[in-house]
Amino acid sequence: METFLSIAVGIGLAAACGFRVFVPLLILNLASLAGALTLPSGFAWMGSPAATVAFATATAAEIIGYYVPWFDHALDTIATPAAIAAGTLTTAAFLTDVSPFLKWTTALIAGGGTAGLIQASTVVLRAKSSLATGGAANPLFATMEIAGALVTGILAVLLPVVCLVLVLIFCLWAVRKVIRFFSEKNTGSP
């Protein structure tokens, strides 16, 4: 059961990375410093005071950047691979007592895949919003994405099974939306 909970925490934090890359890393760091999470030795650096400064600075820069109209699109281009990397890292941190091959393969597929799917869905929503509103609604979407990262990250730490169920539901919804977006784009219908 402990292994399942660890995987749920890792995937939950990975999902939060899909909304914002650094918010869940900061949540992981603060939870580790507070004693709510224990990180394995190879990932202990993520719970250090130096990581707090780094993650807090990166979180502030990321949040501010998404409120700058032209810069939010530039961030989206680097956020997708960064979200996948952060999702992979957070999931790997909680996969203990498995071979390195299984750890990193599972982390990439489950963690990186979840983060990438959620990040892709936010990019699609932001693109539709930009087309419909000329970018005027992007600050609203930025706020919702921050809230998504905070709620998902905190749930991953406090209620990992609930978070995992919600992430699965969201992923199913996101897959449906992404498929619909690309099928509409290919057929040219609105």
Residue 54 is part of which domain span?
2-187
Ranges of residues in the chain with a pLDDT under 70 are: 1, 188-190
The two three-digit tokens of residue 67, written as one number: 């409120």
CB 138 within 8 A of CB 126: yes
pLDDT, residue 185, reads 74
* Measured torsion, CA atoms of residues 59, 103, 4, 156, in degrees rounded to the nearest 10: 0
Number of domains in the chain: 1
pTM: 0.88
pLDDT of residue 190: 57
Contact 14, 95 (CB under 8 A): no
